[in-house]
Amino acid sequence: MSTDIRKVLSELYPCRSDFIGKLCDLLLESLPHVLYVYGHSGTGKTVILRDLLRLMGKNTNFKTSYVNCIECYSTKVLLENILNDLCSIEGVNINCENVNQFTEFLKCFYTKPTHTSLIMVLDQAERLRDMDGNVLPSLMRLQELTGLNVCAVLVGQISFEKYYVANGLPELVTLNCGQYTKCEILHILSNHFDAARNNLKDYIIQHQLDKNDMQEKLHIVENITIEFFNNYLNIFLYVFHKACRDLPELKNTADVCFISYMKPVLSREVDIMDAQKLWRSITPTLRTALTQIYMRYDNPYELKCSSDNEIQKIARSFELPFYGKYLLIAAFLASHNSANADKRLFVKHHGKKRKRLQDVNAKAKVFEKTSAAIGPKTFTIDRLLAIFYAILDEKVGLTCNLLSQISTLVQLKLLSFVSNENNIMDGSARLQCTVGLEFVVFIGNVVGFNIRQYLCDFM
């Protein structure tokens, strides 16, 4: 049986035969107390374990359970989920409040000396550290507590050193799931050759209405060889391997880029064998795709052209009122200038200042001291309003409409409270501006206000 499972899994998941072998050795014979499987995201931990559990579930000697700890916001939910998988009786609601009841339940349910092995997989096990203090230690000692052949398989992305609590934990078996090398990624992606071809066909059928043309294009697609696809993948990985090794992400992007790779071939501008020209035509696409990695956009066939500036689009989507815009600009200035420069910047008749050598030296720009490197500073509402009145040429009354716009900006997450948000009225609350320079420059252009004049970093 174990050899069957191994064979099936190794065929499904290439380049993981070592990991699958170790896992089967551990879980199919006599179970360890607890097993910790860890590795980066996208290395196939969860999917392999779930398939292993599915294959084991066909055998009657195994009872398996898979729980994702993020779903379990309390201990009760976690334990009941596990029990529902392991001790499912038709039409019985399992009620389990604590770990003690959980162990008693397992003991009672498996009283007969059956040879059943219980395996519970807890995915995202990092969350167990935030649950009640007794959950993790007791899951690690379930064999002692119940006297059954039971094993908790914890799956996480961090090494087990981060789990140790003040009272100590028992020793355990850890199993690392390493990242794929470049060759392995190439091998796995080239297994998706058929899927990429079908994807391309769907794209043609959706976007072409001319029948003859479509037949020809489909014919071209049919004739794509696996070598051609591997060449493409080589080019693709040459660009992407430095930036990202997350397999699902790479697979997604490779599918999208393959369509734009084939476009010149389909429109017969480039011959299918001319690798040079194809490389030249795909380069800009790959470059834009590289900037948009990990951003899953809706259209599976097209890459977004990022000629339009993203931040400006976001800024345009905030349709702030006139005074609201000025308040935001004032908040940005308050956050990015030091308070002792306020007088010189905003007061009209601030008097002459004699130049001294130490002032000149003090003004010398050191990048580490600019607000771009340090980040925004905090300010009080009084200072915000003072700057607001200084940069606004007209005289407006300090009405409740004006003050309510401050709280609106906070709700829109353009400003945020840093401290004392409960006593805003007595002036001790401190705020911070949370938008970048580009955003504010755009807003300033809309109202015709040049911000760079008022920023110490640009003087």
Please choose, out of 79-87, 157-165, 271-279, 287-295, the segment that lies near another protein by the rule CB under 8 A. 157-165
Residue 155 CB, shortest distance to another protein, in Å, is 17
Q: Give the one residue of 19, 38, 163, 236 binding another protein; rule: CB under 8 A.
A: 163
Q: Does 452 bind another protein (CB under 8 A)?
A: no
Q: Does 165 bind another protein (CB under 8 A)?
A: yes
Nearest residue to 174 (alpha-carbon basis) of 64, 65, 39, 82: 39
Q: Return the ∠ at Cα 216 (arms to 215 and 217), rounded to 5°.
A: 95
Q: Does 174 bind another protein (CB under 8 A)?
A: no
Q: Does 168 bind another protein (CB under 8 A)?
A: yes
Residue 166 CB, shortest distance to another protein, in Å, is 6
Quick note: the x/- pattern for another protein over 72-111, rule CB under 8 A, is ----------------------------------------
Q: Report which secondary-structure segment, H or E, holds 238.
A: helix 226-240
Residues 34, 120: contact at Cβ < 8 Å?
Answer: no
Q: Give the one residue of 73, 164, 294, 297 binding another protein; rule: CB under 8 A.
A: 164
Integer Cα distance of 85 and 63 in angstroms: 8
Q: How far is CA 383 from CA 240, 379, 389, 454, in A?
A: 47, 7, 10, 15
Residue 368 CB, shortest distance to another protein, in Å, is 23
Residue 293 CB, shortest distance to another protein, in Å, is 28
Integer Cα distance of 402 and 443 in angstroms: 18
Q: Which is nearer to another protein, 108 or 165 (CB)?
A: 165
Residue 159 CB, shortest distance to another protein, in Å, is 6
Residues 327, 405: contact at Cβ < 8 Å?
Answer: yes
Q: Which is nearer to another protein, 47 or 158 (CB)?
A: 158
Q: What are the two backbone dihedrals, phi and then psi, of residue 42, each rounded to the nearest 5 degrees?
A: 80, 20
Interhelix angle 322-336/437-447, rounded to 10 degrees, is 140
Please choose, out of 61-69, 147-155, 158-166, 291-299, the segment that lies near another protein by the rule CB under 8 A. 158-166
DSSP helix, strand, coil percent of the chain (3-state; round to 5): 55, 10, 35
Give the torsion through C-alpha atoms of 130, 121, 103, 69, to 10 deg.
30
Burial (CB count within 10 angstroms: exposed 0-12, middle 13-18, buried 19+), residue 404 = exposed
Q: Which is nearer to another protein, 167 or 317 (CB)?
A: 167
Quick note: the x/- pattern for another protein over 110-139, rule CB under 8 A, is -------------------x----------
Residue 164 CB, shortest distance to another protein, in Å, is 3
Q: Does 412 bind another protein (CB under 8 A)?
A: no
Q: Which is nearer to another protein, 171 or 298 (CB)?
A: 171
Residue 169 CB, shortest distance to another protein, in Å, is 8
Please choose, out of 21-29, 147-155, 159-167, 434-442, the segment that lies near another protein by the rule CB under 8 A. 159-167
Please choose, out of 98-106, 166-174, 310-318, 423-431, the segment that lies near another protein by the rule CB under 8 A. 166-174
The alpha carbon of 233 is separated from its chain's Cα centroid by a whole number of angstroms, namely: 25
Q: Which is nearer to another protein, 161 or 227 (CB)?
A: 161
Q: What are the two backbone dihedrals, phi and then psi, of residue 37, each rounded to the nearest 5 degrees?
A: -105, 125
The alpha carbon of 384 is separated from its chain's Cα centroid by a whole number of angstroms, namely: 35
Integer Cα distance of 303 and 203 in angstroms: 13
Residue 158 CB, shortest distance to another protein, in Å, is 9
Q: How far is CA 112 from CA 22, 86, 106, 109, 147, in A?
A: 30, 15, 11, 8, 12
Q: Which is nearer to another protein, 168 or 397 (CB)?
A: 168
Q: Which residues of 138-151 are buried (b: 16+ CB within 10 A; e: fewer)?
A: bbbbbbebbebbbb
Q: Give the one residue of 161, 210, 382, 393 binding another protein; rule: CB under 8 A.
A: 161
In one letter, which amino acid is 303?
A: L
Q: Give the one residue of 3, 60, 93, 167 binding another protein; rule: CB under 8 A.
A: 167
Q: Give the one residue of 89, 166, 364, 366 binding another protein; rule: CB under 8 A.
A: 166
Strand partners, 121: 66, 153
**Number of residues near another protein (by CB under 8 A):** 11
Q: Does 169 bind another protein (CB under 8 A)?
A: yes
Binding residues (CB under 8 A) for another protein: these are 129, 159, 161-169
